[in-house]
């Protein structure tokens, strides 16, 4: 059975192998939060799990990378793959809501994600994380992951971490908000006829 048939609805899959990483990733946009995550970066597994569960995405990731150097290439390349499949899965974008703005709290932390499925890649991250690392995970890779996701998905993505004390909580709020924002922006609005752009194309 093909990956598309397994996933159903709007979906796509990618296989990407370089000298640095070897990644198989599939995404079902019209899913139910079914996840299978096997990457060499445990904290990213945790974040992708939250993203998919709260976005109602079906997400399967198998990723091996040169984490003996550091997590950079693996995190970056998973962001690239997720962006690619999101763009492919949405196809001509007919009938989608296109925009979303979502706040998510995680205890003391508050994150906001504002997205436009625009076909114009742009990324902004505002906020200060108090810690440079969460466990063995380097927090600056959050920027790297989100930026590559926005670039490859060709979306406008603004992420604002309003406040927080615990960096784990703050990053978690970002990934939950990302899931919920992308769920809403990619959802079909029956009032939208065709592509939601005055230009007629996205």
Alpha-carbon distance of 15 to 26, in angstroms, equals: 9
Give the nearest distance from C-beta 56 to Mn ion in angstroms.
19
Give the nearest distance from C-beta 176 to Mn ion in angstroms.
10
Give the nearest distance from C-beta 90 to Mn ion in angstroms.
29
Q: Mapping DSSP to helix (H, G, I), strand (E, B) and coil, where does residue 45 land?
A: helix
φ, ψ for residue 75 (rounded to 5)?
Answer: -65, -45
Give the nearest distance from C-beta 22 to Mn ion in angstroms.
27
The residue among 46 and 154 lying less far from Mn ion, judged by its C-beta, is: 46
The residue among 81 and 174 lying less far from Mn ion, judged by its C-beta, is: 174
Give the nearest distance from C-beta 161 to Mn ion in angstroms.
15
Q: Provide the strand spans (E) within 96-193.
A: 99-106, 109-116, 122-126, 133-134, 137-138, 156-163
Helix/strand/coil percent split, the chain, to 5: 35, 30, 35
Q: Which stretch binds Mn ion (CB under 5 A): 31-39, 88-96, 171-179, 188-196?
A: 171-179
- H or E element: which one contains 184? helix 167-186
Kindly state the number of chain residues that form the binding site for Mn ion, as judged by CB under 5 A. Answer: 1
x/- letters, 120..159, toward Mn ion (CB under 5 A)? ----------------------------------------
**What b/e sequence results for 71-81 when a residue is b if at least 16 CB atoms lie within 10 Å of its CB, and e otherwise?**
bbbbbbbbbbb
Cα atoms found within 13 Å of the Cα of residue 130, Cβ hemisphere only: 10
Q: Which stretch binds Mn ion (CB under 5 A): 17-25, 64-72, 148-156, 164-172?
A: 164-172
Q: Which residue is nearest to Mn ion (CB)?
A: 172
Query: Site residues (CB under 5 A) for Mn ion?
Result: 172
């Amino acid at each position: 059975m093909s990956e598309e048939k397994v996933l159903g609805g709007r979906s796509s899959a990618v296989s990407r192998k370089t000298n640095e990483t070897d990644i198989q990733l599939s995404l079902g946009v019209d899913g139910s939060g079914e996840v299978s995550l096997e990457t060499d970066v445990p904290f990213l597994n945790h974040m992708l799990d939250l993203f998919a569960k709260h976005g109602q995405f079906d997400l399967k990731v198998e990723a091996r990378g040169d984490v003996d150097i550091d997590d950079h290439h693996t995190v970056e390349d998973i962001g690239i793959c997720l962006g690619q499949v999101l763009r492919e899965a949405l196809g001509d974008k007919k009938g989608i809501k296109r925009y979303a703005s979502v706040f998510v709290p995680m205890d003391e932390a508050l994150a906001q994600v504002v997205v436009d499925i625009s076909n114009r890649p742009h990324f902004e991250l505002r906020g200060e994380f108090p810690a440079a690392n969460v466990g063995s995970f380097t927090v600056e890779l959050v920027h790297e992951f989100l930026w590559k996701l926005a670039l490859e998905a060709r979306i406008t993505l603004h992420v604002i971490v309003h406040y927080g004390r615990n960096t784990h909580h703050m990053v978690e709020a970002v990934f939950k908000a990302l899931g919920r924002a992308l769920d809403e922006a990619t959802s079909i609005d029956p009032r939208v006829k065709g592509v939601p752009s005055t230009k007629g194309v996205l």
